[in-house]
Structure 1
């Protein structure tokens, strides 16, 4: 994966893993699209006025295209990177709202992943939380990533290679959650 390059990449920095959110994040927007289309069909059935049908079809089309394009744009623009030196989180929250957080591997104090609910459990996606010293926010969060355990282990492996620290894994019994504390 070292052929992947990004703006701000250091000369000797290699990309280990590029992570995007699971495609299952399209599930709820997909339900909204189905609901909008169902409402259109219901209105069309009850109000069979040709003028109303045309304008309501155009409004429905605009709403559906907006929901699909915005969801895809946010999904495509949101990326998480694990490199040989750091972890980066580029979060797209809307058309014009983006934030980027990063932490050096040697500053990572704590990593855990969580898989909540039946949908995330069945389709193996969840969140990876990284607590690091020097991060403005409380923690970096990789949200809705596929196979969060493997992502967590890749971060631990990269951190071990960079610093030589040994990680210990703690498993929580009340949630399906594993925690890794780096020493």
Structure 2
């Protein structure tokens, strides 16, 4: 949330994380290392420095697996805002990929639930496509993917009905509304164009 810079008048409507139960195997692996270290603790301590070293390594490895799994789960977030979709993909401690799609660039959204566990626990994937049918964002192991698909489609339709105008009408109002979607660097570009146009008309 701290790294997410919202545009003017933009609000976050929903935050989506992967379904927690799909990560349970990683937690169990970390707990297994901790249990092995605890169960053989006295045996390790009887074997001098290498036994103690192995005990410490098992403890550190167990906590590392648990912490890394939790960290990646919390950092991989999908945001739904009033203006766009933002996907933050944390692939490790030092690699992060941020993708975003404005609603007017979305071509198709569809959800998929497969497998017995998916049907019982109601989790699956959501695929978001942009122009030319290219998949831009894939959300894996999301809780209630069909409801998420419906929410995105409804917000997309609402956004398009609000911001896609007929320019044969009041052009000034349309342009003024569109300016609220721009970031500061883009506004400076618009200002430069307007200044040049005003100077030409004023001569």
User: Would you say same fold, with TM above 0.5?
Assistant: yes
- Flag structure 2 segments of 5+ consecutive residues without an equivalent: 163-203
Correspondences of 1:1-183 after superposition (within 5 Å): 7-37=4-34, 39-40=36-37, 49-51=46-48, 52-133=50-131, 138-164=135-161
- Flag structure 1 segments of 5+ consecutive residues without an equivalent: 166-183
- Report the TM-score, using the length of structure 1 for normalisation: 0.75
The offset of 1:45, in angstroms, is 8.6
Say if 1:18 and 1:82, in contact at 8 Å, map to a contact too: yes
- Report the TM-score, using the length of structure 2 for normalisation: 0.68
Larger radius of gyration: 2
Q: Which moved more, 1:32-41 or 1:105-114?
A: 32-41
Q: How many residues align?
A: 161
The offset of 1:27, in angstroms, is 1.2
Deviation string for 1:12-41 (max 9, x for gaps)? 112111111111132120232244346546
Describe the shift of the 1:48–1:5 C-alpha distance in structure 2 as closer, same or farther (beyond 3 A): closer
The offset of 1:112, in angstroms, is 1.1
Q: Which moved more, 1:44-53 or 1:64-73?
A: 44-53
Secondary structure, counterpart of 2:91 in structure 1: strand
Deviation string for 1:51-96 (max 9, x for gaps)? 3543332111100111011111111111101111111100111111
Q: Which moved more, 1:78-87 or 1:28-37?
A: 28-37
- Cα RMSD of the aligned pairs, angstroms, is 2.8
Output the CA distance in 1 between the equivalents of 2:17 and 2:70.
Answer: 12
From the two aligned structures, give the one with the greater helix fraction: 2
The offset of 1:10, in angstroms, is 0.5
Describe the shift of the 1:5–1:44 C-alpha distance in structure 2 as closer, same or farther (beyond 3 A): closer
From the two aligned structures, give the one with the greater strand fraction: 1
Describe the shift of the 1:111–1:14 C-alpha distance in structure 2 as closer, same or farther (beyond 3 A): same
